Chain A
Amino acid sequence: MANVNTGSSAARGFNKTVIYVVCIILALLSIMPFLIMFVNATRSTPEIQSGLSLIPSTHLSTNWQVLVGKTFSPFRGLLNSFIISAGATLCAIYFSSLTAYGLMAYSWKMRQPFFTFIMCVMMIPAQASSIGFYQFMYKLHWTNSFLPLILPAIAAPAVVFFMRQYLLATLSMEIVEAARIDGSGEYATFNRIILPMMMPALATQAIFTFVATWNNLFLPLILLTDKSKYTLPIMVSLLRGDAYRTEFGSVYLGLSLTVLPLFVIYFLLSRYIIAGVALGGVKE
């Protein structure tokens, strides 16, 4: 008996070592590309071509001058991306909560069919309607406007689904009834009582909507042709252009600038983000 025990614990010790090694390798695999990127942002093109190094060099300012001297304007991109992402996030979380509350708090004839419908359209890819969307916006003279990138967020089926699941667990109609007795209108009840109550769900969905909009390339790329309207992902696509063909250092610097804000957000909020991913997957 004792023999068996020591045998298995030794095996477990060995297994555990293997597991830690695998996990550390995977963690390094996550970090290394970004580390090389940040280091190479400070190196000159000849240095980068002469070999791999993890020691920062001194060419950050030269790279910066080359980068902004051509087509890439980071602050413009940052500002445009921020306006679009913030606008879309506000639209998505406010109107999705409103819709989810409408679905939960009131019994209306079309309630169940409407929810079924939301579930049905949740997975429809944006690319499937992009040609019609582009032609429609072209006719409205809304290309090169941020509105077609912000307003569609009002109808965000996946966010409605999440908010509904949250309300399913937390909404008590007694509070709503009490507000009614106090003479509060339905819309005021939603804004003053329900919305603050939904804060945790709003925060989670706000993070995910913001990041998803921030990272979106397809729609901005087809709608925005005016350089002053470019978002960061479009700026990134410029780094693939001929202007930067031989400017490796500047390319890495440009990439670093687009990655840095997301790094800051991620490492500040990673606990909530991971918890949100877990919630979204289980959907309960």
Chain B
Amino acid sequence: MRSKGVSYSKYGYIFSLPFILAFLVFSLYPTVYTAVIGFTDMKGVIPKPLHFLDHPFQNFKDLIFHNPSFRQSLSNTFLIWVWNFIPQIVIALLLTAWFTNKRLNIRGQGAFKILLYMPNIITAGSIAVLFGSLFAYPMGPVNSLYEMLGWSPFDFLQDKTTARGIVAFIQFWMWYGNTMIVLIAGVMGISPDLFESAQIDGANARQTFFRITLPNLRTIMLFTLVTSMIGGLQMFDIPQLLNRNAGGPDNATLTASVFIYQQAFRGSYMYNRAAAASMIMFVIAAILSAIVFYLMRDRDAARVKKQEKKLRKAARAAAKGA
């Protein structure tokens, strides 16, 4: 009560100040600067004063309508992401169904979780070079296996489909363990009463999974979907380092981030074009994060409502008691 006269609210601002300053300097300003560069003719290693284009949207127009490698980089990014996400969510859901099924009582879950999650923590760049070496042609570990099976060696990294497939596989392999752990945590959060009443009603494992587990995981799965899309949009290390020629055969593994990197920092130093491509990527990411934001806001609101209900109940009980 004594503290009533003192206002502490200024500390809210003071404590948030470092964050705000760092954000303005290292995040907001560079983003705005990138957007501005997108409207200029900035290129070359030697810095020149900013000069805006006569047609401000020229870089964007060129990229979208006249640049096949940019369009290909977007479609590659999307394709590789789809090829990684579908097996990822299927395997993760399957493992979740198995590991959370009490009747099955799978042993060694802890060890399996540790091993399946492991690739996620290893440097993506190292993994890319490792897979590049494993798929070496004409002789590498994978081609040795191939020969043992009686097939002739195959140059996986120089074939469009297999090169894309390998990038997608690495992405899948690094992330399904993560998705599985998130989904298992989600199942743990579902009220046990639901499972109990399903059991009393005589539901079998399949019915319980499809009628109870899956619908209750919907928000978490949507969250996984969108975060995975934003992560996939930034895919850089693996396509950049898997092949000696980043971009792969016929640009088959050229992703949006690799495109930006190559335009700005390799060869022609086309900062303006790279900046315009970054802004297009930014808009896509912003749309995706807007979706996540709405999802999470809904959940927060729901939780607040729940708490209010509880409080009201408690108050009513207390009133009754009194």
Contacts and interface: CB of A to CB of B under 8 A. Distances in A.
B33 to A, nearest CB: 3
B210 interface: no
Interface string B15-38: 110111111001101111111110
B125 A217 contact: yes
A190 B118 CA distance: 35
B103 interface: yes
Interface stretch (B68-76, B109-117, B192-200, B309-317): B109-117
B244 to A, nearest CB: 6
Q: How large is the interface on B (under 10, 10 to 19, 20 to 34, 35 or more residues)?
A: 35 or more
Contact of B15 (A98, A122, A259): A98
Contact of B119 (A30, A52, A130): A30
A122 B295 CA distance: 14
Interface in A213-239: 214-215, 217-218, 221-222, 232-233, 236-237, 239
Given A23-B112, A33-B134, A128-B278, A236 B126 contact: yes
A211 interface: yes
B61 to A, nearest CB: 18
Contacts, number: 312
Contact of A52 (B27, B144, B303): B144
B3 A27 contact: no
A106 B9 contact: yes
Q: Is chain A's binding surface mostly helix, strand, loop or mixed?
A: helix
Give chain A's interface residue range (CB within 8 Å of chain B). Answer: 35 or more
Interface of B: 2-3, 8-16, 18-23, 26-27, 29-37, 42, 47, 91, 94-95, 98, 103-104, 106, 108, 111-119, 121-127, 129-134, 136, 139-141, 144-145, 147-148, 173, 177-178, 181-186, 188-189, 220, 223-224, 227, 230, 233-234, 236-237, 240-241, 244, 256-257, 260-261, 264-265, 271, 274-275, 278-279, 281-282, 285-286, 288-289, 292-293, 296-297, 303
Interface of A: 12, 15-16, 19-20, 22-23, 26-27, 29-31, 33-34, 36-37, 40, 48-52, 95-96, 98-99, 101-103, 105-111, 114, 119-136, 138-139, 148, 151-152, 154-155, 160, 177, 180-181, 186, 190, 211, 214-215, 217-218, 221-222, 232-233, 236-237, 239-240, 248, 251-252, 255, 258-259, 262-263, 265-267, 270, 273-274, 277-284
